[in-house]
Structure 1
Amino acid sequence: MASTSRTTHPVLDTRSLNRATLARQLLLSRAEMPAQDAVAHLLGLQAQNVKPPYFQLHARLAGFRPAELAGLMESREVLRIVTMRSTIHTHTAQDALTLRPLVQPARDREVNNFRKGLVGVDLDRLAGLARDFVEEEPRTMGEIREELLKEWPDADPQSLSVAARCRLPLVQVTPRGVWGRSGQVRLTTLGVWVGAGPGVEVVEDGVGDRTGAVDDAVLRYLGAFGPASVKDMQTWAGLTRLREAFERLRPRLVVFQDENGVELFDLPEAPRPGADVPAPPRFLPEFDNLLLSHADRTRVIAPELKGRTWTVNQAHCVLLLDGFLAGLWKLDGNILTVELFESFGSSSGATKARTAEIVAEGEVLLAAMAEDGADGSVRFGSIHG
């Protein structure tokens, strides 16, 4: 249960939480770090679309160029797989082998939500048939579905797809996910893709192994997203019942509380810079994990701006100013359009210095990430216009 105001833990206000989280996320200053190390430190990059992982690393790493991550994709040192929150993430191969089993209970619950469409389907047999099919050669989800319908013609096709995706650790093979290339989503198993071999089961069943894996994930999550509550990590992972792990680790952690009395855990040696440390503008892509990995997102998104990063079911790229959500952006060719929210716009007396900082950061993005190689420009206006 969350702590109440009667606890005696030191209080971290919103700005202090913001600066601590930005430091862990490599967003206070760009890190001199290889892309592979950054992907591991961040426990993966949300990757429903192909380009966001590249923009996530650009915002965080000094001198990053898309070719670095693309090369890691092609060498299979990083890969695209469903993990946290049942969404595609870009992970190192090692983390995929560790984190995919960690979230298997959530994937099992997801299958249970589709049981009405799976009446008469033997899920173990389904997993075996799908495994053999994709390990023969990478397949599209449509091809997997059609193959399974041969065995269970009366089952719901979508439910068969969900069951295959959840029961098996399926990797999106390249060229999907490689910068500057296109490719249909084709899938094979994690074991085959990383060279473990066909038929290799990467989902761990041992209780002892799982306990150690969960504890390690808690420590790494705090290193990348802390200080954080139990609910924060459960939101990031899409898992429940993580309180036991936090209690197991409590003697190794420091404990704070937020302004509402919620207990926040952290690594003793983790950076917690002062609330007044400058935070430069940063352009983050849609689905950046900074915005999705806490139950309480006010450390980055002011309450009055909740929901502004979405239009219906479309996620927008976001601009951080002073560490907090301040606007949206869109890159069209070599034109970067920036839309500041009302409280940050010119009508609010935005300073020339702030505008100059946004433009300078936008020009850094254009120089590194604009695909046509031509000189670009930064404009202010509506991203819908």
Structure 2
Amino acid sequence: MFDIKIYDNISPLGLSQFDSEKYRLGRDLSAPNAILLRSHSLSPIAIESSVLAIARAGAGVNSIPVDICTERGITVFNTPGANANSVKELVIAALLLSSRRIHEGINWLTSQINVSQLTEAIEKKKYLFTGSEIAGKKLGVIGLGSIGVLVANAAEQLGMKVSGYDPFISVSAAWGLSSGVRRSESLNQLMANSDYISLHVPLTQDTENLINENSLKKAKPGLRILNFARDGLVNADEVKAALKTGTLSCYVTDFPVPELLGEKGVIPIPHLGASTTEAEENCAVMAVNQLKNFLENGNIRNSVNFPNCSLESTGSIRLIVVNKNVPNILSQILSVLAQEGLNVEDMVNRHQDQIAYNIIELSPPRLYPDSMKQLNAIDGVIITRQICRDILA
């Protein structure tokens, strides 16, 4: 029986994927085997020593102490692409909001509740909300992951001229990108040539304050920026200054910050990018299935700190070893197994940065406690666990 500690309101469809005979779910479980959350900010002290994995039903993992989890051998999962269509649709809405002054018109009209000659008032004032069409305009997409590709393709279908900038674009993303989307050689080039910029990169040390005074100096006058990625990508004070000078005509963000609320040209949205029933269900189902495959089989898919790694089962005992990615550790692991008379039926070894992950199928179907002690005593081994297939069956 695996214990899963739940934070936040996880979609019932996702939770229903857990077999009640194998999994116990709860918000107050002690010594859980895994944690499932959405937006909860998880402190290191809240992660008990029993935790093997943490899954976030969403893409960003800023609320999880990933580095500490890696040091402790805890696998952290996210769900890239599960909410991509939901975010893409809101970005398209933001393109129109930034161009057509729709929200300003709605706000004005709502204030006319006591006006007796409403039709006449509308005809006199609607010129104040004249906007521009997006067809034929230039959109620059920074970051061509699952969401960025969908945004680029959708914008092109709406008649926009789309360019993308992503020096680290994956092969799969490139295959999904419309042939009409042009490649930009640099961020500065994209800023200078675009009427709109849409941000779709993760928040890292390299991308923090990506939109700042220097990058805004390269911007085409009247640029509109859409931020549906992370607030830390944009320097709020420098965006405010650019709005006042006319360098920017509009800033639409799904990550509002206090210093920009009420500023002319800012359209704040209360973090609604993934707030659709479909996205919440997709993320929850994906997160749960990743946890199940990891806990029951040791397989990893969509981890942010460990390599993708999977192996078909051939025996009843499966050994999982997480170790530092340094020489001679694997040979020591295999030496211990050989001394115990255990035969390796199949195995896979993968590494990511400084971490190596091993799945080893063994026969005969036994692994004594002394063997585990010897494995854990190897310098550089972080954690070990064994999965007994006959117990899970």
TM-score interval, smaller chain: under 0.3
TM-score, with normalisation over the residues of structure 2?
0.25
Give 1 or 2: higher helix fraction. Answer: 1
Indicate the structure whose relative CO is greater, using CA pairs within 8 Å and at least 6 residues apart. 1
TM-score, with normalisation over the residues of structure 1?
0.25
Query: Which of the pair has more CA radius of gyration?
Result: 2
